[in-house]
Amino acid sequence: MTSADNLTCLSCGQLNRVPVAKLGSGPKCAICGHPLVSGGVSELDVQVHNKASLKDGLPIVIDYWAPWCGPCRTMAPEFAKAAVTLKTKARFAKIDTQEHPELSQKLGIRGIPLLILYSNGRELARLSGARPAQDIAAFVRQNIKA
Ligand code: ZN
């Protein structure tokens, strides 16, 4: 394991290097001051999405959703609960596939909600369909071995 992780600021897109030992003590972006590890769910744009999925050392799980998708809205609070549970193990984010259809095409997404887990520029796993918080947390833990 490396001593520091690359973390893309999910607010401004700046790449930060954070010592692993500091992940739990509220690291902030050097440029904009946004918390880097918040236990919340960040809304991404395509630029930040691409950077985080390619560069981040700390695993990131992204919820591909759309406002018209009922199951996506049902799952949102469950996803948020899982984010709190796994605060220092993985970051949670979401992106609106209606706003960014080119992303669905690029990633071959046929149905939503879909979760994709990334770490160090690699896609580790996908989980499709609306799931309860414990399933989401189990899916992440299993694939990052945390
Ligand atoms: Zn920032």
Residue 19, pLDDT score: 94
pTM of the predicted model as reported, rounded to 2 decimal places: 0.95
Residue 81, pLDDT score: 98
Report residues near ion ligand 1: CB below 5 Å: 9, 11-12, 14, 29, 31-32, 34
Q: In the chain, what are the domain boundaries? A: 38-144
Residue 3, pLDDT score: 83
How far from the centroid of its chain's Cα atoms is residue 144's Cα?
Answer: 13
Residue 145, pLDDT score: 80
- Rounded CA-CA distance 109/117 in Å is 14
Segments in the chain below pLDDT 70: 1-2, 146
- Rounded CA-CA distance 95/116 in Å is 11
90 Cα: distance to centroid of ligand 1 (angstroms): 18
60 Cα: distance to centroid of ligand 1 (angstroms): 16
Positions marked catalytic:
69, 72
**Which positions ≥6 away from 133 have C-beta within 8 Å?**
78, 79, 81, 82, 85
Residue 146, pLDDT score: 67
114 Cα: distance to centroid of ligand 1 (angstroms): 26
134 Cα: distance to centroid of ligand 1 (angstroms): 30
138 Cα: distance to centroid of ligand 1 (angstroms): 29
User: Could you tell me which CATH number the domain at 38-144 has?
Assistant: 3.40.30.10
